[in-house]
Each structure stands twice: as structure tokens, then as C-alpha cells.
Amino acid sequence: MTAIVVVEDEPDIGDLLALYFRQEGWTVHVTDNGSDGLEAIRARRPDFIVLDVGLPGDIDGFDVCREVRRKSNTPILFLTARDDEIDRILGLEMGADDYVTKPFSPREIVARVKAIMRRGKDDPARSDICFDTILIDLDRHEVTVDDEPVALATQEWSLLAALAQHRGAVLSRQQLLDLAWGVDWIGDPRTVDVHVRQLRRKLGSDLPLVTVRGAGYRLG
């Protein structure tokens, strides 16, 4: 049984999400502030967390996320009302799996939750990721096009692997730097663009590596 913790201080939104989630047969626990949210997450070990960014009190959604990420990879979907919050979700290495902006349709949230959980289930079992003629073998650090191995530089491979591991999700340049170069690496986010160009050149048009304007890149 899928268990979800929702941390959302607007009762209407919390109730609505709980209603839709329960219709899916999921167990839902709603809290309206960050410290109760953390407590519920600790006690219930949910399969999924829906987290409002703006919460009353000392602990906002970002704090909750950071705290959760110290110990677990439980998927987190952020709810956000403001553009500058989106910047922070994408810009910092928050470890969020996705976000939805308010106002939203509950159906959309249900669909996103399902998609993220599917992704999570696929990942450990399969180390091969396939796009048409391109096969990315994450375990063996190999990529082939039409069964022909393609030689990638170390950082090109790291970037491709980071994108493949988060396929379907938009990753900002900063997130990609953190994932592929490491959080200690200080450099120009445009480095990512240079390596993306290389990947596109080497792997060709079957690589579904999409530029998302103002946000970053998405594979798949």
C-alpha cells in the first residue's frame, strides 16, 4: 500500500489532495507545518512526500526537504506558488523529484506522483536505458549507437549518466553540475552547455536531449 505524507498549510489544498490520493487507494497523512511534517515522515516512512514550499513557522518546505534528504531518497514533489521558489527548487541541489505550481489540478499531481514512483521502481532493476538506436549502460559506463560503442570523455559520460538517471525530469545547469561534476566543483554553468553540444554531436539525433528554455535540460 502506498503511503503519502502531505505537508501543506492551506486546508483546502490538503483536503483536496487527500481526497484524490485516497481515491487511488493510497494512505494519506496531511500535516500543516514543517515540524509536524518531519515528525510524520519520521514516524510513517512514507513512499512519497508532497511538500508545500511556503509553510508557517520556522521550518519551510526547503528545510523539510533538506532534512529528509540527509537520511532518505523518498521522492518529493514540491508545491509552489512563486517563480522565485521555482528558481530555488531547480537552482539548489534540493533533491526534489519534481514540482507543481499553484493553482494546479489534483489530477495532474496524481499523474506526477505515479510517474515519479514508476521511475523510482525502474531504476534499481534496470541499468540499461534505451532511446531508439542509443543504448546507455549505466553499470558498465558504456554507450552505443547502433551497437557501435561511442567514446565519451569522463565528464561527457558523467553528464549523460546524470541525465539518464533522471530521465524525464528537467534538470537545471546547476543541478547537472552538482550531479556530474560534484558539489565542490566551482565553475561556469555554461560548461554544461558545451558538454551537451558534445553529447549531441557524438550520439546524434536519436538522443532525446531537450533544451528547456529558462530551466535546463531534459533527457527523454
Binding residues (CB under 5 A) for Ca ion: these are: 9, 52, 54
Q: How far is the CB of 163 from Ca ion (least distance, A)?
A: 31
| C-beta closer to Ca ion: residue 54 or 120 | 54
Q: How far is the CB of 54 from Ca ion (least distance, A)?
A: 4
- Nearest residue to Ca ion by CB is 54
Q: How far is the CB of 153 from Ca ion (least distance, A)?
A: 44
| C-beta closer to Ca ion: residue 50 or 171 | 50
Q: How far is the CB of 34 from Ca ion (least distance, A)?
A: 11
Position of cell 549505466? Answer: 138
| C-beta closer to Ca ion: residue 6 or 177 | 6
What is the rounded CA–CA span in Å between residue 28 and residue 6?
7
| C-beta closer to Ca ion: residue 12 or 139 | 12
Q: How far is the CB of 56 from Ca ion (least distance, A)?
A: 8
| C-beta closer to Ca ion: residue 54 or 106 | 54
